[in-house]
Amino acid sequence: MQATQRNARVGARFGAAAHHYEAHAPIQRITAERLASDIARLNLPARPRILEIGCGTGLLTQALARQLGAADWTITDISPAMLATARSGPALPGTARYLVLDGENPQVLDGEYDLICSSLAVQWFTDLNAGLGRLAARLAPGGYLAVATLAAGTFAEWQDAHLAAGFVAGTPPYPPCQLIRPAMSNLAGGVRSERLIQNHPDGLAFLKGLKGIGATTPAPGRPPLSAAALRRVLAAFDEQGATVTYHLAYGMWKQSTQRPAGVFVTGTDTGIGKTLVSAILARAWNADYWKPVQTGVSEDPGDTDTVAQLAQLPPERLHLPAYVLQAPLSPWAAATLEDTVVDATSIVPPATTAPLIVEGAGGLYVPIDDTHMMIDLIARLDMPVVLAARSGLGTINHTLLSVEALKRRGIPILGVVMSGPLSAGNKEAIERFGDVRVLAEIPPLAHVDAAAVAMLAQSIPPLEECLAALGGAPAVAD
């Protein structure tokens, strides 16, 4: 009952601000546009069924309409006034319904959705992860849950000003990014973060902005400050520079569907050791191997032969590439030189009874054809990723950029394999800041042969254990 009453108070305060909300919402506008851009990269069906939670005045709604086009829209908000403002905006392409709804309790809705999304609304949930879990239960198979919310570190300057004045701020407690995850669900995906800093003339302008958007409900049990106390806090805040940090968390998760057990091996760069990693995984997991697009056969025999030798795979465990190109270039560039047409949408994984190791060409943003890159193929194949990375200087930046790109697409990351001289510091940084697991470290090898691969395979965790950490192991065909 208390949570319901608090949600009603939150809705009432936002409703009172509906007519002037957007004049005070630059951060909200930026966040909505960036979330919409992430969503536009997803592999959504034509005319998707979309549920938006906490639409406010329609910033995300309209950004999505521009990006996605026609859809079956269900637009909701806890505030009737906000919902009415959103509804008065430009007509949405497709069909649209507008519902007053407490997004933390969506059980009253019927049907399933290809996309459930929310921009800067779910941070008001009484229990964020539980609420996200209830939303996840409304996803169709293969559907996406995409949210932008506030994370720990938001309003740190305002909180510091309270402490300097001898008080505790009434701002709600926001969770660290790594703890944001839909409860009781089998979603795969993750959270990426971003910090935006907003400058204000002074503390009064900051408070006026919060009031302008209706974000004035304090954390439970935090009474408002007296006028004298507030003046002390404002003085401390102004002395610090009157800036405020928003720590934004963008969560992107996909409802698991039955898919072949296995992984897609990609890298932070070309020449990163993907083929060796693929051979080690194939040996460790007794898996089949498939390279969908092979380039550079004019100079080398091809990665399929290399993996076969290193992992000691029999012919029946090897699957022919969909495309074989001569030049040691990206598939798109090689196909252009060779007057060949490559179509990424025609690439279909082979039927297997064993786990399947799929090795990509180059890194995530290597073009395959005129309109698709390697990351598009990974998303369409719906397989978790093992990311091959160097261990040395520069790997933190390259690896974290690749991790963030995968998270933006809701692509699950099984783990990272680092190759080169061991670096405990780089390993710790990648795990800490990427919120990913380093599955293995491959030291420099005197001989890269089947014996070395067999030895390294012994240190790889079981595939079932790795998949279970993503929220449920997929099925293997009988």
Is 217 within any annotated ligand binding site? Answer: no
CB contact set of 29 (below 8 Å; sequence gap of 6+): 22, 59
Is 361 within any annotated ligand binding site? Answer: yes
In whole angstroms, give the CA distance from residue 282 to residue 174.
42
- The answer to whether 21 and 50 are in contact (CB under 8 A) is no
223: Cα within 13 Å, side-chain hemisphere = 4
Q: Which of 125, 195, 141 is nearest to 133 (CA)?
A: 125
Is 131 within any annotated ligand binding site? Answer: no
Is 275 within any annotated ligand binding site? Answer: yes
Is 208 within any annotated ligand binding site? Answer: no
Structure tokens at 413: 């990351």
| Sheet of 49-52, strands arranged across | 94-100, 71-77, 49-52, 113-119, 139-150, 243-255, 187-199
Is 241 within any annotated ligand binding site? Answer: no
In whole angstroms, give the CA distance from residue 231 to residue 248.
29
CA-to-CA dists, residue 163 to 151, 159, 197, 234, 470, angstroms: 20, 6, 20, 12, 39
Is 359 within any annotated ligand binding site? Answer: yes
CB contact set of 407 (below 8 Å; sequence gap of 6+): 189, 190, 191, 192, 250, 252, 413
- The residue behind tokens 């859809």 is 71
Is 136 within any annotated ligand binding site? Answer: no
Is 445 within any annotated ligand binding site? Answer: yes
In whole angstroms, give the CA distance from residue 390 to residue 395.
6
Is 411 within any annotated ligand binding site? Answer: no
**Do the bridges between strand 113-119 and strand 71-77 make them parallel or antiparallel, or are there none, so unpaired?**
unpaired
Tell me which DSSP letter residue 76 carries. E
Is 273 within any annotated ligand binding site? Answer: yes
How far is CA 308 from its chain centroid?
A: 34
| 261: number of Cβ within 10 Å | 21
Q: Please identify every residue annotated as catalytic.
A: 291
Backbone angles phi, psi at 437, to 5 degrees: -100, 135
Binding-site residue ranges for ATP: 271-276, 359-362, 443-445
Binding-site residue ranges: 271-276, 295, 359-362, 443-445
Binding-site residue ranges for Mg(2+): 275, 359
Binding-site residue ranges for substrate: 295
